[in-house]
């Protein structure tokens, strides 16, 4: 098949006036190369489409049979929906979740309200547009403050865990002024952080459950921040399978599968939780465009550690999309 790849690449010389993590969600050229190599090894012809306005001409020229979409988009809380919306308008089949799911999951307050409405635990929160709103939030401290619609730990720093209203107001000001959006102020859940990789439709498969264990701080103080992710080999230990009781892992998997279906995820996704003092998993966020860099992205790491090589993972994701679309590989 001719597989088009829609993606955004980190610029080599980003504008200096933007935050240091402005392009954190974008992929590296190396990641794009790994994905292209995986599909080529499976016998597919890969067409690099990029993203942004130039993708329209690239689609006309490349004429892909299907598009594998990992494009993060540009600007606003609906940016991840740009490419799939365009593909739907043009009648081009694609891999991954649809525009509505991508919009809902990127907006953390919206996703949390939907998840809570179906009875899945999620930390209490307030969506704050200015620092003074913190005072009326009626939340228990500590809290964590993060941008309302960013991914890849953009805007999440070690200082994002606030122990008092004064600290929370300071971080809300940082988020609103730096990222031009509201700040999610969320009660901090003190237990283990875990992420769940899922592939499929109908009866999706749990690829793995991975515990992110800090090496140098106590779990109840741990923030999976930008600083930590950029130095993850020294800062954290990835435990997959996790060192958690079997019943707790089963409950995490139950919640992850239910939330995957509830939010309308398709083909592949990753869902994050933290455990409270009673080992109850609390939903943090859902990422239907998880990183796919081998050896670095959480989903490929989980797959490898649970016995699914990288190429097999990519093949499974594509096969799930083809089956969903009623397309036979050529």
Band of the pLDDT at 75, cuts 50, 70, 90? confident
Locus of tokens 């809290």:
143
Banded pLDDT at 164 (limits 50, 70, 90): very high
Confidence class for position 17, pLDDT limits 50, 70, 90: confident
DSSP calls for 97-157:
--HHHHHHHHSHHHHHHHHHHTT-----EEEESSGGGGGGS--PSSEEEEETT--TTTT--
Report the mean per-residue pLDDT for the chain. Answer: 96
Give me the CATH topology for the region 124-187.
Answer: Dna Ligase; domain 1 (3.30.1490)
CATH architecture group of domain 193-325: 2-Layer Sandwich (3.30)
pLDDT of the residue at 152? 83
CATH architecture of 2-95: 3-Layer(aba) Sandwich (3.40)
Question: What's the mean pLDDT in 285-297?
Answer: 95
- In this prediction, residue 4 carries a pLDDT of 98
Tens of pLDDT along 166-192?
A: 999 999 999 999 999 999 999 999 999
Averaged pLDDT, 301-323 = 98
Per-residue pLDDT at 275 exceeds 90: yes
CA distance 193 to 95: 28
Each residue's pLDDT tens digit, 80-110: 999 999 999 999 999 999 999 999 999 999 9
Report domain extents, the chain.
2-95, 124-187, 193-325
Mean pLDDT of 284-299: 96
Mean predicted confidence (pLDDT) in 232-237: 91
Query: Between the ranges 144-148, 222-226, 230-234, where is the mean pLDDT highest?
Result: 144-148
Q: What is the dihedral of CA 108, 110, 112, 115, to 10 degrees?
A: -140
Burial of 95 (C-beta count, 10 Å sphere; 0-12/13-18/19+): buried
């Amino acid at each position: 098949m001719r597989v088009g790849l829609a993606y955004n690449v980190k610029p080599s010389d980003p504008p200096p006036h933007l935050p240091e993590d402005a392009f954190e969600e974008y992929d590296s050229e190396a990641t794009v190369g790994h994905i292209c190599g995986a599909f080529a090894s499976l016998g597919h012809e890969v067409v690099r489409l990029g993203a942004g306005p130039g993708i329209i001409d690239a689609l006309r020229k490349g004429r892909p049979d299907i598009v594998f979409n990992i494009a993060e988009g540009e600007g606003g809380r609906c940016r991840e929906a740009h490419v799939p919306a365009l593909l739907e308008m043009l009648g081009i089949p694609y891999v991954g979740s649809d525009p509505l799911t991508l919009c809902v999951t990127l907006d953390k307050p919206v996703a949390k309200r939907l998840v809570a409405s179906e009875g899945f635990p999620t930390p209490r929160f307030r969506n704050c547009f200015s620092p003074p709103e913190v005072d009326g939030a009626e939340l228990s401290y500590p809290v964590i403050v993060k941008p309302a619609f960013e991914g890849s730990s953009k805007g999440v720093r070690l200082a994002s865990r606030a122990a008092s209203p004064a600290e929370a107001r300071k971080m809300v000001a940082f988020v609103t002024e730096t990222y031009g959006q509201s700040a999610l102020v969320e009660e901090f859940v003190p237990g283990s952080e875990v992420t769940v990789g899922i592939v499929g439709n109908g009866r999706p498969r749990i690829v793995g459950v991975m515990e992110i264990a800090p090496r140098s701080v106590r779990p109840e103080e741990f923030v999976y921040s930008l600083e930590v992710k950029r130095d993850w080999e020294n800062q954290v230990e990835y435990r997959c399978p996790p060192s958690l009781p079997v019943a707790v892992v089963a409950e995490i998997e139950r919640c992850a599968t239910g939330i995957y279906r509830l939010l309308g995820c398709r083909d592949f996704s990753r869902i994050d939780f933290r455990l409270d003092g009673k080992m109850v998993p609390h939903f943090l966020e859902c990422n239907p465009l998880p990183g796919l860099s081998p050896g670095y992205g959480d989903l490929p790491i989980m797959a490898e550690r649970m016995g699914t090589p990288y190429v097999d993972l990519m093949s499974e994701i594509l096969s799930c999309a083809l089956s969903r679309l009623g397309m036979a590989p050529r």
